[in-house]
């Protein structure tokens, strides 16, 4: 059974004019409104395919805002922004102790459960950062996260993905996502699954209750939708392409949205290739 208190103790659409990356043009790393901390930002290797970073977090967890800032920093900083795919999954199991996180969903908690089983972690905790589905750590440990990212960038990618998006048309905003994936080498895994995520940056919340009561928090890379597509044989030369049409919530701040796609082994949860882009 999840225990958020013990968890803390155990841790950590489309615009009519083309837009640049929201994070690429940022003059400074977004920060919690009442945070003054700064960290160094070592430069990473230019090699490899983008590394997927999945942060399991909650606005109800007092240990999470520093980790949220780490994810924003890695996603916005010039030295890392083109090399990572940051995604924030807000879990729902903190909601019962004072504050309901507006970005939380049981599906994200279930995804964290799957990682716990695959990685042999005893239970779940926040903030937890999963790197390319192969390693996990306290999301506040920035230097360790950078080391894990660097290690993956220095390894030849097993798959490459090409990603394109366009307005799907219709009365309700939709997004058409065109994804092509190709294996560049064989891997020992079951069929790999295409996963597509829509995320949003720059959301500010005044937290009224719970462990972060009275604080104003900014969250980036919040996963709004997560969809699965085709399966792909894990053999060199295997290639597939698909077009997905995703409905978008009109309440989402369209210029702040981005989309990511990656290939994942549903059994081991290991990620073998990824791509990410803003909605232009």
- Domain boundary assignment for the chain: 4-278
* Average pLDDT score over residue span 224-241: 97
Name the more confident of 42 and 219.
219
Across the chain, where does the E strand assignment appear? Answer: 51-57, 84-90, 128-131, 135-138, 159-167, 174-183, 192-200, 203-206, 216-219, 222-232, 239-247, 257-264, 271-278
Q: What is the pLDDT of residues 28-82, one digit of tens each?
A: 344 444 433 333 333 333 345 899 999 999 999 999 999 999 999 999 999 999 9
pLDDT at 1 > cutoff 80? no
- Evaluate if residue 205 carries a pLDDT over 60: yes
Is domain 4-278 classified as CATH 2.60.40.10?
yes
pTM for this entry: 0.85
- Which of 14-28, 64-78, 201-215 is predicted with the least confidence, judged by mean pLDDT? 14-28
Locate 222 and state its tokens. 């919040």
């Amino acid at each position: 059974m999840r225990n958020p208190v013990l968890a803390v103790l155990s841790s950590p659409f489309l615009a009519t004019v083309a837009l640049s990356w929201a994070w690429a043009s940022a003059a400074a790393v977004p920060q919690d409104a009442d945070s003054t901390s700064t960290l160094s930002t070592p430069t990473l290797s230019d090699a490899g395919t983008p590394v997927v970073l999945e942060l399991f977090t909650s606005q109800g967890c007092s240990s999470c805002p520093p980790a949220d800032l780490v994810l924003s920093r890695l996603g916005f900083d010039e030295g890392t922004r083109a090399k990572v795919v940051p995604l924030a999954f807000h879990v729902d199991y903190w909601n019962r102790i004072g504050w309901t996180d507006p970005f939380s969903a049981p599906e994200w908690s279930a995804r964290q459960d799957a990682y716990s089983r695959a990685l042999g972690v005893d239970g779940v905790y926040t903030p937890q950062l999963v790197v390319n589905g192969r390693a996990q750590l306290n999301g506040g440990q920035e230097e360790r996260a950078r080391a894990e990212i660097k290690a993956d960038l220095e390894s030849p990618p097993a798959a490459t993905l090409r990603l394109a998006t366009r307005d799907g048309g219709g009365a309700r905003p939709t997004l058409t996502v065109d994804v092509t994936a190709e294996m560049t080498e064989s891997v020992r895994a079951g069929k790999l699954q295409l996963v597509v995520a829509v995320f949003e940056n720059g959301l500010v919340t005044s937290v009224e209750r719970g462990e972060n009561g009275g604080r104003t928090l900014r969250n980036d890379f919040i996963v709004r939708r997560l969809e699965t597509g085709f399966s792909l044989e894990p053999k060199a030369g295997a290639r597939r392409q698909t077009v997905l049409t995703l409905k978008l919530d009109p309440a989402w701040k369209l210029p702040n949205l981005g989309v990511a796609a990656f290939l994942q082994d549903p059994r081991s949860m290991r990620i073998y290739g990824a791509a990410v882009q803003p909605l232009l």
